[in-house]
Amino acid sequence: MNIHVLSLFPEMFEGVFGSSILKKAQEKNAVSLEVTNFRLYSGNKHSQVDDYPYGGGAGMVLKPEPLFQAVEAITGDSKKPRIILMCPQGERFTQAKAEELATEEELVFLCGHYEGYDERIRQHLVTDEISIGDFVLTGGELGAMTVIDSVVRLLPGVLGNDDSPVQDSFSTGLLEHPHYTRPADFNGLKVPDVLLSGNHAHIERWRREQSLFRTWSRRPDLLSNTELSSAEQKLIDQWEKEKND
């Protein structure tokens, strides 16, 4: 996969792209990560990429020319990539969206600053608008880093165990079950016996029930989109009853 980022502050990505899983993914040639300062495509002697909004108002608006020209320059004759605008007005980012983007060959992230974007960027350049939450950041860089990390870890061979992302929270529709490791007894706090039993069927059943309980207690909204067995529905009904008693 090829990922391009257009940002006025490319130095913000150096530590993130040069560390941990993203660094390893590049070393494995699973992904190439490039950051371009789109000020280079301003087309004017003052390298201006923003201007006052027509009709008045506070703040500055990113001009269309630099981003259109930067996208054209970095993508060239390649098949039209997914061009993602990081924006608080965009679609809420989810694990399902990460899984969708992980199937693409090329992604371009647009990271703006200032008051906003010229509307022609939204209408005629981007394919996706993504928000990482109902809050506003000073720019799109931190949001882009979040989305890129989430997508890259799903690429084949990036994680040590390819089953790991399949078991993540949200990938199954439920929150992930609790995890334990050595020691089995820490200051009197013991690992559940079932995990030490060696009975894989019992362990999987326990993990599914714990995942279900954690979702029910913390994010019950997720259950509406999860297919449950009759036994699992009975468990939820039991928990509801105990909660209300």
Pairing type for strands 189-190 and 185-186 reads antiparallel
pLDDT tens digit sequence for 63-98: 999 999 999 999 987 778 999 999 999 999 999 999
Respond yes or no: is residue 207 known to be catalytic: no
Catalytic-labelled residue, pool 53, 88, 99, 104: 88
* Separation of alpha carbons 12 and 108, rounded Å: 17
Q: What's the confidence (pLDDT) of residue 116? A: 87
Task: Summarize pLDDT for 172-219 with one digit per residue, the tens.
Answer: 789 999 999 999 999 999 999 999 999 999 999 999 999 999 999 999
Residue 103 · residue 64 · CB < 8 Å: no
CA 143 to CA 153: how far, in whole Å? Answer: 16
Confidence of residue 165 (pLDDT cuts 50, 70, 90): low
**Catalytic choice (99, 100, 104, 115):** 115
Length of the chain: 245
Q: Is 182 known to be catalytic?
A: no
Class of domain 169-244: mainly alpha
* CATH level 3 topology of 2-152: Alpha/beta knot (3.40.1280)
Q: For 1-53, what is each residue's pLDDT tens digit?
A: 999 999 999 999 999 999 999 999 999 999 999 999 999 999 898 999 999 99
Residue 170's pLDDT band (cuts 50, 70, 90): confident
Please tell me which residue, 61 or 113, carries the higher pLDDT value: 61
User: Is 88 considered catalytic here?
Assistant: yes
Question: Exposure string (b/e) for 207-221, b if CB count within 10 Å is 16 or more?
Answer: bbebbbbbbbeeeee
For residue 230, give the amino acid letter: S
In this prediction, residue 52 carries a pLDDT of 93
Q: Which of 168, 176, 209, 232 is catalytic?
A: 168
- C-alpha 108/C-alpha 121 separation (Å) is 13
pLDDT, one tens digit per residue, over 98-154 is 999 999 999 999 999 877 899 999 999 999 999 999 999 999 999 999 999 999 999
| Rg of the chain in Å (alpha carbons) | 23
Query: What percent of the chain has a predicted confidence (pLDDT) above 90?
Result: 87
Rounded CA-CA distance 177/71 in Å is 42
Closest CA to 137 of 120, 159, 113, 157: 113
Domain assignments of the chain as residue spans, ordered by start: 2-152, 169-244
Question: Is 168 a catalytic site residue?
Answer: yes
Q: Do domains 2-152 and 169-244 have the same CATH topology?
A: no
For residue 137, what pLDDT is reported?
Answer: 94
Residues sharing a CB contact under 8 Å with residue 30, sequence separation 6 or more, in sequence order:
1, 152, 155, 156, 157, 158
